[in-house]
A = this chain, B = another copy of it.
Amino acid sequence: MSIRVGIMGYGNLGRGIECALKQNADMELVAVFTRRDPKTVQILSENVNVYHVDDAPKMKDEIDVMIMCGGSATDLPKQTKEYAQYFNVVDSFDTHAKIPEHFAAVDEAAKENGTVAMISVGWDPGMFSLNRLYANAILPSGSDYTFWGKGVSQGHSDAIRRVEGVANGKQYTVPVETALERVRSGENPELSTREKHTRECYVVAKEGADKAKIEAEIKNMPNYFADYDTTVNFITEEELVKNHAGIPHGGFVIRSGKTGWNEENNHIIEYSLKLDSNPEFTASVIVAYARAAYRMNKEGQKGCKTVFDVAPAYLSPASAEELRAHLL
């Protein structure tokens, strides 16, 4: 029998989950939940119903894992702990500073109700976190480096669009290749914010807007752009739609460390992602951890878990014997 999955929230991430489930024969989408009028939500799957969120608790016995696809700012802090009362849940909560608080609240709800709640699943937090942990455990004497991109930052794109005179815009975070090379060489450099990433903006100006003023305002925006070398390119709406419609992302986690009696040998561990679609990749990670959540709960586990708590074998549909024979 396949693992029955529900999707809570149907935006880019929810649609990504729907696509990922199609690639996993041991899992099955059974329902999508929305705060909108369900009749207005068109999903890709045939023969799967869309329900209002209020109907979710009634489907407690029909869903093995509920995947939470809301945002980290306001949705997940409320929803994950709420639905952990009824279901095993997985979320992609990504406000790094608030993870301990979110963990505590979700852990309580999950333990009380005997469910497994997997939080902060995706690639950062998620696969990048795992790689930081593995590399730190292996090389205790060393330095960590995380670079993001090349990819679209939603927050920075939103910031551009709030500038007066801007009709539309998109921002790419770009890792500085020379900084990457210095890290890979084992030099262990101390890198400033400006030395690690540049920011590339593609901006559609409103008719008659003062482009020099827009450019200056973007480049000097505190927190978002002032600490970076930023380039601003003015393009037409047509060009934006044609050349910048995707949501690519990616990045690099590198640990440079020493071993030897006198730490005479250097080692570089590098993990990198190059993603055509940030939400679809995030969704693919989440679906693998949904499988793990279901299995761990079947074994009697409960409470809040992160990627650090999940033995890798739980993620694969293959048996332990198959994994040892073919992937080890």
* CB of A270 within 8 Å of the partner chain: yes
A67 to chain B, nearest CB (A): 15
Tell me the A251-280 residues at the B interface (CB within 8 Å): 259-261, 265-277, 280
- Which chain B residues border A291 with CB–CB below 8 Å? 137
Number of copies: 2
- Which chain B residues border A226 with CB–CB below 8 Å? none
Contact, CB under 8 Å: B133 / A261: no
Contact of A16 among B259, B277, B323 (CB under 8 A): B259
A292 to chain B, nearest CB (A): 9
* CB of A321 within 8 Å of the partner chain: yes
- Rounded to whole angstroms, the CA-CA distance of A129 and B44 in the bound complex is 35
- Which chain B residues border A134 with CB–CB below 8 Å? 127, 130, 312, 315
Per-residue interface assignment for chain A, residues 284 to 311, with 1 indicating a CB less than 8 Å from any chain B CB and 0 otherwise: 1100100100000000000000111111
- Which chain B residues border A260 with CB–CB below 8 Å? 19, 277, 280
* CB of A114 within 8 Å of the partner chain: no
Contact of A315 among B44, B103, B137 (CB under 8 A): B137
Tell me the A96-146 residues at the B interface (CB within 8 Å): 96, 99-100, 103, 120, 125, 127, 129-134, 136-141
- Which chain B residues border A276 with CB–CB below 8 Å? 259, 265-267
* CB of A313 within 8 Å of the partner chain: yes
Contact of A308 among B266, B272, B317, B328 (CB under 8 A): B328
Contact, CB under 8 Å: B133 / A327: yes
- Which chain B residues border A321 with CB–CB below 8 Å? 100
Closest to A310 in B: B311
Closest to A139 in B: B284
Contact of A133 among B131, B132, B312 (CB under 8 A): B312
Contact, CB under 8 Å: A306 / B324: yes
18 A-B pairs with CB atoms under 8 Å apart are A19-B261, A23-B259, A99-B325, A120-B328, A127-B134, A130-B312, A133-B312, A138-B284, A138-B285, A259-B276, A267-B277, A270-B273, A271-B271, A306-B324, A306-B328, A307-B312, A307-B328, A308-B324
In order of increasing CB-CB distance, the 8 nearest A-B pairs are: A265-B276, A137-B315, A259-B280, A308-B313, A268-B274, A137-B288, A265-B277, A129-B328
Sample of 7 more A-B contacts, CB < 8 Å, known A137-B317, A267-B275: A99-B324, A138-B288, A265-B276, A265-B280, A267-B276, A267-B281, A271-B271
**Residues of A participating in the B interface, judged by any CB pair closer than 8 Å:** 16, 18-20, 22-24, 44, 96, 99-100, 103, 120, 125, 127, 129-134, 136-141, 184, 259-261, 265-277, 280-281, 283-285, 288, 291, 306-313, 315-317, 320-321, 323-325, 327-328
